[in-house]
Structure 1
């Protein structure tokens, strides 16, 4: 019966090794190319870059408004904390004064010996004079009790202020953490937008960042040339003195750069421009777009007149100042300066009349 032996294996020759390596590389390439696990970033077309950049700018602006709101709250918490610290310092001064008064009374009693009043009356050579003095001592005791009460009251008030300050410190830290989160979100999205735009040619970048209301391939003349907009400013008549001042201020800022978190005088974000325009008109508006929409009377689109605030997107993340003729002045995004634009270029979310 023949033995079943394993056939001897031939050693790998150089040709065999090269063939095996080639097949292995081909298999790896097949996995990379066809199973979707490759890490190469897909090459976007200019049109796809435009859509993605617009989305990133919109998301960054929403985060910017949240940052602005958190900063406003953090600033308010800081002001409250500073006021509490000032009150605590004043209370400490009053406490020191009350303690000094109490110490003076105690020192006087120590000097007088604090002898029992019955013995003082019995030993006195002039009872009438003693009784007058006893009445004075009783009044001094009342003053001592009042001084003790004042010290206790100051201590209670200082403890109350310390408790309030601890709450404000906690609030301030929470707001500061929110500021850092929103800042990371904004800068991350803006960095990604810059990276995408950096892949394009100058012409493609111009098309990707063009005014959405202008024909493809060029920026609208009204957005690109602030001087022409200023020449038209005289034809825009805003009702009411403050609205007119705000509109004139906005016209005067055409061409100013967009900088997230900025409120002027040389750079703005969307709500910062609106706030600055009405600040110039003597009216204080909230810092964020989602707060500004509630700063006045809501109006319909058909009621719009120059000076009204117009808001966009479901989250009320963008705002502009209506100037008439279906147009507004707004601070769009980092790729475009303050400019005139049609209000139809973004999803309309509402309008408010603040004066």
Structure 2
């Protein structure tokens, strides 16, 4: 967890980012006038929804990045505390040796000779002097290393705190931009005709589909069971999903952990070609890798599409331009 000072600093960063963010993405402002016809209205809605989905994935990625940075901050603070404890311990050791010197517990060679009762006594005293000198040298070396380590840990803790602050600001900005884009899409949705809304809301194929055995089949079975559930930006189930949360929970049901965002999911498993696609493969769409679906077979895929549409089955090639296809094994 963040230390108390770091928490205050991070909270301050959140307040500092409370400014109005205007999205510069296409469709950043909803059209004041309805489109000329229903076809244009539906196209405009789908464009706005796609931009909102991209922002949603960016927002989720920023949240994941923040978790990673907070982990780095926790480690840096832990290292700093350990380094300071080591520094205090070694400093105490050096102080004890120094105090012993002032109290006469250590002697130079001449004083050792003068106070010795015999040659053996002198040798014993000289040996003790060597041990004390070595101890002092070792303690000083450890103290110096501990101080350097504490300074390094302090620098890393500051870097981690600064990075966490920056990400909090980015998350705040992306959330504002996402909210604007979603509102624009909803405004456009409200302008659709009843026929277009019915077209969007059609649930598609709800028939029973046989799945293959194994991990991919279990994941597909879960995804298919969510058909008809609503799409909601940033939702994680159990009855509302966005595209990547459905994929993550589907594979979790099969005992496999995959990342939360579609961009990160584009890097799991191994790549396969379009011709090789089979049930359970993840199909990531668009150059931004902002949408993901799961193959039902080589032709169809199940996915959480966009607001206004339920989780449904669609033709793989109709969803959008394919970026990459990944197989989880």
Q: TM-score range by the shorter chain?
A: 0.7 to 0.9
**Partner SS for 1:42:** coil
- Higher relative contact order by CA 8 Å / sep ≥ 6: 1 or 2? 2
**Normalized against structure 2, the TM-score is what?**
0.80
The correspondence of residues 30-179 of structure 1 with structure 2, limited to 5 A, is 41-44=32-35, 45-112=37-104, 116-126=108-118, 128-179=120-171
Aligned to 2:326: 352
Aligned length in residues: 297
- Pair 1:221–1:257, CA change in 2 (3 A): closer
Q: Secondary structure at the match of 1:112?
A: coil
Give me the whole-angstrom Cα distance separating, in 1, the residues matched to 2:45 and 2:190. 11
Contact 2:73 2:160 in 1 (8 A): yes
Aligned pair 1:183/2:175, yes or no?
yes
Please state whether the residue corresponding to 1:78 is helix, strand or coil: helix
Rounded Cα–Cα distance in structure 2 between residues aligned with 1:124 and 1:297: 79
Q: Superposition RMSD on alpha carbons, in Å? A: 2.6
> Is the alpha carbon distance of 1:83 and 1:209 closer, same or farther for their aligned partners in structure 2, counting shifts above 3 Å?
farther
Contact 1:70–1:175, Cα closer than 8 Å, also in 2: yes
Report the CA distance between 1:41 and its aligned residue.
Answer: 3.2
Q: Tell me if 1:319 matches 2:302.
A: no
Instruction: List gaps (5 residues or longer) in structure 1.
Output: 1-39, 212-217, 223-227
Using the alignment, how far apart are the partners of 1:73 and 1:324 within structure 2?
A: 34
In structure 2, the partner of 1:14 is: none
Distance 2:237 2:90 in 1: 49
* Deviation, structure 1 residue 153: 0.6
**Superposed CA offset, 1:31-78 (max 9, x none):** xxxxxxxxx933334433322211111011111222222222221111
Q: Establish whether residue 219 from structure 1 lines up as the match of residue 202 from structure 2.
A: yes
Partner of 1:121, secondary structure, is helix
Cα distance in structure 2, aligned partners of 1:345 and 1:261: 23
For the structure 1 residues 133 and 251, does the alpha-carbon distance in structure 2 shift closer, same or farther, using more than 3 Å as the test?
same
Cα deviations across residues 153-200 of structure 1 (Å, max 9, x unaligned)? 111111112222233233323333322232222111111122233345
Residue 250 of structure 1, CA deviation = 0.9
The structure-2 alpha-carbon separation of the partners of 1:266 and 1:144, relative to structure 1 and needing over 3 Å to count, comes to farther
CA distance in 1, matches of 2:139, 2:198: 73
| Equivalent position of 2:7 in the other structure | none
Rounded to whole Å, the distance in 2 between the matches of 1:142 and 1:130 is 18
Q: 1:168 to 1:206 in 2, by over 3 A?
A: farther
2:197 to 208, 211, 217: 208
Distance 1:119 1:317, change over 3 A: closer
Shift of 1:150: 0.7
SS in 1 for 2:305: coil
Give the 3-state SS of the residue equivalent to 2:296 in structure 1: strand
Q: What do the CA deviations read for 1:286-324 (whole angstroms, capped 9, x no partner)?
A: 333233233233323232211011232343221101112
* Structure 2 unaligned spans of 5+: 1-30
CA distance in 2 between partners of 1:103 and 1:266 (Å):
65
Alpha-carbon distance in 2 for matches of 1:79, 1:286 = 17
Deviates more, 1:134-143 or 1:263-272: 263-272
**Maintained 8 Å contact 1:124/1:130:** yes
Distance 1:46 1:90, change over 3 A: same
The match for 2:242 is 269
Once the two structures are superposed, what CA deviation does each residue of 1:122-169 show, in whole Å capped at 9, x if it has no partner?
244455324312311220121111111111111111111222223323
Name the TM-score, length of structure 1 as normaliser: 0.75
Corresponding residue of 1:22: none
User: Hey, what does 2:278 align to over in structure 1?
Assistant: 305
SS state at 1:153 partner:
helix
Aligned to 1:197: 189
